[in-house]
Structure 1
Amino acid sequence: MRNGARQQAAIEILTSLETQRQPAADAVKAWMLTHRFAGSKDRAEIGDLVFGALRWKQSSAWRMGEDTPRAWVWGALRWGFGQSAQWIEDSLTDDPHAPAPMTDAERAALSGDNIANAPAHVRGDFPEWLDTSLTRIFGDARAEEGAALAAPAPLDLRANTLKTDREKLVAALAESPKLKGPPEFTPHAPDGVRIPWSQGRTFPWATEQSFVRGWFEVQDEGSQIAARISGAQPGMQIADICAGGGGKTLALAALMQNKGQIFAHDIDGRRLAPLKERLDRAGVRNVQIRAPMRTKDALADLRDRMDIVFVDAPCTGSGTWRRSPDSKWRLRPNALAKRLEEQQEALALAAPLVKAGGRLIYVTCSVLPEENEDAVAAFLASYVQFTPVGLEPVGLPAYERSIGVQMTPRKTGCDGFYVAVLQRA
Structure 2
Amino acid sequence: MTPAARLSAAIEVIGTLLAERRPAADVLKDWGRSHRFAGSGDRAALSSLVYDALRRRASAAWIMGERVGEESPRALLLGTLRLARGLDVEAIAALCDGARFAPEPLNADERARLAAASLDDAPAHVRGDYPEWLDAPLAAVFGEARAEEGAALAERAPLDLRVNTLKGGVDKAARQLAHLHPGAGNWSPLALRIALEADGKAPPLTAEPAYLKGLVEIQDEGSQIAAILAAPPRGGQVLDLCAGGGGKTLELAALMDGAGQLYAYDDDLRRLAPIHERVQRAGAHNVQVRSPRGRGPGREDVLEDLTGRMDLVLVDAPCTGTGTWRRNPDAKWRMRPGALVERVKEQAEILDAAVCFVKPGGRLAYVTCSLLDEENVGQVRAFLERHPGFRVVPPAEAVLSLGERGMALREAALDRPEGLLLSPRRTSTDGFFVSLMVRDA
Spell out, residue by residue over 1:208-228, the C-alpha distance to the aligned partner (whole angstroms, 9 max, x if none).
111111111111000000000
Q: Tell me whether 368-377 or 81-90 shows the greater mean CA deviation.
A: 81-90
Find the aligned partners of 1:198 and 1:327 in 2 and give their Cα distance: 24
Give the equivalent residue in structure 2 for 1:403.
418
Give the equivalent residue in structure 2 for 1:160.
164
Deviation at 1:77, TM superposition (A): 1.4
Deviation at 1:94, TM superposition (A): 6.6
Contact 1:44 1:202 in 2 (8 A): no
Q: What SS is found at the alignment partner of 1:121? A: helix
Amino acid at match of 2:350: A
Q: Tell me whether 189-198 or 352-361 shows the greater mean CA deviation.
A: 189-198
- Percent of paired sites with the same residue: 50
Spell out, residue by residue over 1:260-280, the C-alpha distance to the aligned partner (whole angstroms, 9 max, x if none).
010101111222111111011
Deviation at 1:189, TM superposition (A): 0.6
Spell out, residue by residue over 1:151-172, the C-alpha distance to the aligned partner (whole angstroms, 9 max, x if none).
1101111011101112221221
Q: Tell me whether 12-21 or 277-286 shows the greater mean CA deviation.
A: 12-21
Amino acid at match of 2:420: V
Give the equivalent residue in structure 1 for 2:402.
none
Find the aligned partners of 1:145 and 1:341 in 2 and give their Cα distance: 26
Contact 1:2 1:95 in 2 (8 A): no
The equivalences for 1:86-235 within 5 A come to 86-93=90-97, 95-175=99-179, 179=180, 182-200=181-199, 201-235=201-235
Find the aligned partners of 2:427 and 2:94 in 1 and give their Cα distance: 39
Give the equivalent residue in structure 2 for 1:419.
434
Find the aligned partners of 1:374 and 1:143 in 2 and give their Cα distance: 22
Find the aligned partners of 2:60 and 2:184 in 1 and give their Cα distance: 33
Give the equivalent residue in structure 2 for 1:296.
300
Find the aligned partners of 1:26 and 1:161 in 2 and give their Cα distance: 35
Give the equivalent residue in structure 1 for 2:352.
348
For the aligned residue pairs, the C-alpha RMSD in angstroms reads: 1.1
Q: What SS is found at the alignment partner of 1:362? A: strand
1:240 maps to 2:240: yes
- Structure 2, unmatched stretches of 5+, are 400-405
Deviation at 1:193, TM superposition (A): 0.8
Given the superposition, is the C-alpha separation of residues 422 and 271 from structure 1 closer, same or farther in structure 2, using an over 3 Å criterion? Answer: same
**Once superposed, which parts of structure 1, at least 4 consecutive aligned residues long, lie more than 3 Å away?**
none
Q: What SS is found at the alignment partner of 1:125? A: coil
Find the aligned partners of 1:348 and 1:313 in 2 and give their Cα distance: 12
1:386 maps to 2:390: yes
Spell out, residue by residue over 1:107-156, the C-alpha distance to the aligned partner (whole angstroms, 9 max, x if none).
11111122010000000001111111100110000000000001110111
1:17 maps to 2:17: yes
Deviation at 1:233, TM superposition (A): 2.6
Give the equivalent residue in structure 1 for 2:265.
265
The equivalences for 1:64-75 within 5 A come to 64-66=64-66, 67-75=71-79
Find the aligned partners of 1:402 and 1:95 in 2 and give their Cα distance: 60
Find the aligned partners of 1:94 and 1:23 in 2 and give their Cα distance: 30
Find the aligned partners of 1:83 and 1:308 in 2 and give their Cα distance: 51
Give the equivalent residue in structure 2 for 1:249.
249
Contact 2:82 2:117 in 1 (8 A): no
Give the equivalent residue in structure 2 for 1:364.
368
Q: What SS is found at the alignment partner of 2:359? A: strand
Find the aligned partners of 1:364 and 1:196 in 2 and give their Cα distance: 26
Deviation at 1:380, TM superposition (A): 0.8
Find the aligned partners of 1:77 and 1:216 in 2 and give their Cα distance: 35
Find the aligned partners of 1:402 and 1:204 in 2 and give their Cα distance: 41
Q: Between Structure 1 and Structure 2, how many residues are aligned?
A: 420
Contact 2:139 2:146 in 1 (8 A): yes
Q: What SS is found at the alignment partner of 2:21? A: coil
Find the aligned partners of 2:196 and 2:417 in 1 and give their Cα distance: 34
Find the aligned partners of 1:329 and 1:276 in 2 and give their Cα distance: 33
Give the equivalent residue in structure 2 for 1:48.
48
- Structure 1, unmatched stretches of 5+, are none
Find the aligned partners of 1:423 and 1:85 in 2 and give their Cα distance: 58
Q: Tell me whether 391-400 or 379-388 shows the greater mean CA deviation.
A: 391-400
